[in-house]
Amino acid sequence: MFRASVWGRDATRRSCVVTSWRRDEPGVPFVTDARSEPAADDPHVADPDYDSHGGFPNFEIARPGPGFGRFLTAMRRAQDLAVSADPDSDTWDEVADRAEELVKLLDPYQAPEGVGPANRTPDLPGGGSLLQAPWSIVRFAADGVELQVQFSRFHVGGNYAVHGGVLPLLFDSVFGMVIHAAGRPISRTAFLHVDYRKVTPIDTPLAARGRVVRTEGRKAFVSAELCDADGAVLAESNGLMVRLLPGQP
């Protein structure tokens, strides 16, 4: 899990304008060409047990080298082709042989959570995780987070629209970032509700933005929306994030 840090401030504005992001040093997010504001003040002041809630380790940002980024790009394309390609039988046999060779090559290097670069490489789409859609952070501040995301053929549910089950995963990721940006300790999702307003397209840049609406002790009520390039709302979500007690999984 990444911790929030201090950012520069500008006026609050909800927008679907999107761009790119990177992080320059462990634990310190950095945004390029994007609006940024400071995350909440040091949460350790209000909560000395900030680092112990849930017993999660403090993962360091990974720097795996350029080969990992190339690997993820190829794998994302392979995911698209896995659900769209229609080659002949001999080609499927060859593809299966090569896939099995790839598994054989990587299998000895399987590592525990938080050791490999997946989910720990924030300068790569989706934080370096193939589970995530290829999002990038535009804004990370105490009063809200904005992401750019572009879905692809892999995410299609039918009629070239994004599968409805993909959007809760995106919103849940947004809510996790919102919690960190607001300086709250690690929390679990208690509930997440999604309202689908329009069909979500593939192969076009979209914007997701979220925020903490209010807090009640361990509870943080959150909301988010997914917009197209014209600002039309494609889906909305609201949820409840509950701060973990020390040692809770």
pTM of the predicted model over 0.85 = no
DSSP state of 178: H
Helix (H, G, I), strand (E, B) or coil at 215: strand
Q: How confident is the model at residue 242 (pLDDT cuts 50, 70, 90)?
A: very high
Task: List the beta bridge partners of residue 162.
Answer: 156
135: closest CA among 121, 153, 149, 145?
A: 149
208: closest CA among 238, 234, 188, 180?
A: 234
Condensed to tens digits (0 to 9), the pLDDT of residues 210-241 reads 999 999 999 999 999 999 999 999 999 999 99
Domain positions in the chain are: 21-64+111-243
Q: Choose the CATH number for 21-64+111-243 among 2.130.10.10, 3.40.440.10, 3.10.129.10, 3.40.50.720.
A: 3.10.129.10
Q: In what order do the strands lie in the sheet with 187-196?
A: 135-141, 144-149, 206-216, 219-227, 233-243, 187-196
Tokens of residue 203, six digits: 């192969």
27: closest CA among 35, 39, 17, 15?
A: 39
Task: List the beta bridge partners of residue 243.
Answer: 187
Condensed to tens digits (0 to 9), the pLDDT of residues 42-54 reads 666 656 666 666 6
